[in-house]
């Protein structure tokens, strides 16, 4: 996808963080039509002030609830004949040792990060198929490429996003629908406020690389530089060797995740 003017964009969780930065990036490239779903109505309403020339379909809803998705997609199809870009960005994390994470948090992470993403894609797909040039952007995580201690349930959801992307890309081969997966590393957003970490990417960097990836017809956009790419390779080719690296990070991750929860 080279041009973002006159494109109709659906995004989950555009009210903050990476989703908000992606809206900003697209807005500056000329996109004006955005349909946004999120739970917090104040965050959604702020978009109208921040992007005054955009026309928003704002929908307060929870993507883990099928009814919310059905109603959101009804609102979209009552206003638009097509969707050009679907950005599956909404996500939550609850980190720590597996035994310390509540059952509710484990179920909610799966339902928001995976089930909601799959259902939103399913129900927006007929509108994407009406577009001459469409894209699906799925936001996974570096933890969807490499599982790390204290993120077992979150990693499972983001690995699920990775394989969903791969499968749906192959399923949609006969449609002009590009499927791209984004793997951010630690990024300074509200999600990371409760994690003890520094040296984070900015959400603007993630958004710029996402849009560049779309323009360059990439399948994957992996943040974190050459080191992350090397780690991904090592994790596939010699996972026992990578276990040793993960072990050196164990204490730091234990500390970082002692209170890391954004639900």
Residues that bind ligand NAP (CB under 6 A): 12-13, 15-19, 37-40, 43, 62-64, 89-92, 112, 139, 141, 184, 186-187, 189-192, 262
Give the residue with the Cβ less far from ligand NAP, 69 or 131. 69
Nearest approach, Cβ of 60 to ligand NAP (angstroms)?
Answer: 8
What is the spatial distance between Cα 48 and Cα 34, in angstroms, rounded to a whole number? 11
Asked if residue 172 lies in contact with residue 131, where contact means CB atoms within 8 angstroms, the answer is no
Give the residue with the Cβ less far from ligand NAP, 35 or 37. 37
Three-class secondary structure of residue 255 per DSSP: helix
Nearest approach, Cβ of 147 to ligand NAP (angstroms)?
Answer: 14
Give the residue with the Cβ less far from ligand NAP, 1 or 116. 116
Give the residue with the Cβ less far from ligand NAP, 176 or 190. 190
105 to 13, 126, 255, 263: CA distances (angstroms): 18, 32, 20, 8
Nearest approach, Cβ of 125 to ligand NAP (angstroms)?
Answer: 19
Backbone angles phi and psi of 137, in degrees to 5 = -115, 120
Handedness of CA 160, 163, 169, 172 (dihedral sign): negative
Asked if residue 108 lies in contact with residue 152, where contact means CB atoms within 8 angstroms, the answer is no
Give the residue with the Cβ less far from ligand NAP, 43 or 123. 43
Nearest approach, Cβ of 229 to ligand NAP (angstroms)?
Answer: 16
Nearest approach, Cβ of 116 to ligand NAP (angstroms)?
Answer: 6
**Residue 79, both tokens:** 């206003």
Q: Token pair 């950005």 is at which residue?
A: 87
Give the residue with the Cβ less far from ligand NAP, 9 or 112. 112
Residues contacting residue 22 through CB under 8 Å, at least 6 positions apart:
11, 14, 87, 89, 137, 206, 207, 210, 211
Nearest approach, Cβ of 43 to ligand NAP (angstroms)?
Answer: 5
């Amino acid at each position: 996808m080279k041009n973002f003017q006159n494109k109709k964009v659906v995004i989950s969780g555009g009210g903050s963080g990476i989703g908000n930065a992606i809206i900003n990036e697209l807005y500056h490239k000329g996109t004006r039509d955005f349909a946004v779903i999120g739970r917090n109505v104040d965050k959604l309403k702020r978009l109208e002030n921040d992007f005054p020339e955009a026309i928003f379909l704002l929908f307060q809803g929870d993507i883990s609830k099928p009814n919310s998705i059905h109603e959101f997609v009804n609102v979209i199809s009552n206003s638009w004949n097509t969707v050009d870009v679907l950005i599956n960005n909404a996500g939550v994390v609850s980190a720590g040792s597996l035994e310390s994470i509540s059952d509710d948090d484990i179920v909610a992470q799966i339902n928001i990060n995976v089930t909601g993403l799959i259902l939103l894609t399913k129900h927006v797909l007929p509108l994407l198929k009406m577009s001459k040039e469409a894209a699906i952007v799925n936001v996974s995580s570096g933890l969807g490429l490499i599982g790390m201690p204290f993120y077992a349930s979150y990693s499972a959801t983001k690995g699920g996003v990775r394989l969903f992307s791969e499968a749906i890309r192959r399923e949609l081969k006969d449609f002009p629908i590009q499927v791209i997966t984004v793997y951010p590393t630690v990024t300074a957003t509200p999600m990371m406020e409760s994690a003890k970490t520094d040296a984070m990417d900015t959400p603007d960097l993630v958004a710029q690389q996402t849009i560049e990836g779309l323009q360059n017809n990439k399948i994957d956009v992996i943040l974190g530089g050459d080191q992350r790419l090397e780690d991904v390779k090592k994790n596939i080719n010699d996972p026992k060797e990578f276990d040793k690296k993960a072990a050196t990070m164990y204490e730091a991750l234990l500390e970082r995740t002692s209170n890391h929860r954004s639900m």
